[in-house]
Structure 1
Amino acid sequence: MTDPRTDMFRAADLAGLVLTAVPHDAHDRPTPCREWTVRDLLGHLVAVTARVAHIARGGHPSDLPTVLAAEPAEGFATAYRSGVAGVRDAWAEDSVLTRTVHHPAGDMPGAAGAAIYAQEFATHAVDLAVAIDRTDLLDEEFLAGVLEVALRVVPAHRPGFPFAPPVAVPQDAPVHVRLAAWLGRDLVQV
């Protein structure tokens, strides 16, 4: 079994790569997260870094917002890089993997929380890449592993899950398309 922090950090870095490629004039574009524009999704990703670090330190996710109310003074990219550094620091000790963390989906071992956040960072990297037409930045091989986990842990019937039902796509579609589809995103309608 691999350390789930490895995938969480890799997914956070992938999201950061895409985030830094977002042109400022793209902030009002729609995203596969139907309720959010690119600006909203950027604000969510920065907020998620704070929440991920916070739960590793014993905090509750509801203590912090899920989306920033405004762009940080230093800009989204700088705030995100700082947030990811905080995530790495908060999750540095191996004991966090066996401690109970207060995840939005409920209390769970830190290892499970890290695996879920790997999926969140990776999926939002896809959301942003699609919204700004930069899917060339995505690591399809890495996303294949994320998809494999999502297929095991996110049921097709989803009461209580924050995802729409799966969207049908061809089995030979790119991995990022299949991942997005499994999590209820219809990339054709973006």
Structure 2
Amino acid sequence: MISTLFSIIFVYVFILLGYLAKRIFKDDMNTKTLTLMSVYFLQPFVTVWGFSTARLHEEHFFVPLIYLAIILALLLPTILIGRLIFSDIKKRAIFSIAGFVGNTGNIGIPLGIALFGEQSVIFTTLINIANVFVVYGLGVYIYSRGSFGIRQSLFNIVKIPIIPASLIAILMNINNIRFTPEIEEFFKMGAYAGIVLQLFLLGTFLQGIRIREL
């Protein structure tokens, strides 16, 4: 019990470090640069490594389906509320996305590891991928429609590398294509770097939140 508690605390230490870094260095701590590094370079490592930790079976796919059902149940109310609260299309889009997506990558994967060990990674990765397809598919489309046309919005979805990386990783898992130990360790290093960066980023974002402004 004590070891589990410490494992959870250590996860939040990385969030605290991000919070302190942004508070101390302010604009010198560029969250946009860190986000680009995470989304375009390290998140594909998290996905590919996650799918290499265990062989997928039919029962695994019920996990993302349940998650998607919850997302769909939240989608319509958030869109309707967004239309009532905001007249600005971009603000409405941001509100709609925030209302039905979960923090499955930033917190879900590291907390799963802290609580249940690396055997949980295949489940948290599946939930995260379901979330990724919603956020980077429907979410990016909704947000882009606040600024771009349909064609550019669809192109913004294709540009994000975690989606093709996820499809390749799932196909490799289903066809039982295994990495050599050296390559698996390489992806594991990248995955843990991505997980830590996501926690750090979450801390930097939390530092910018002002309750009174909200």
Higher relative contact order (Cα pairs below 8 Å, separated by 6+ residues)? 2
TM-score past 0.5 threshold:
no
Larger of the two Rg values belongs to structure: 2
More strand by share: 1
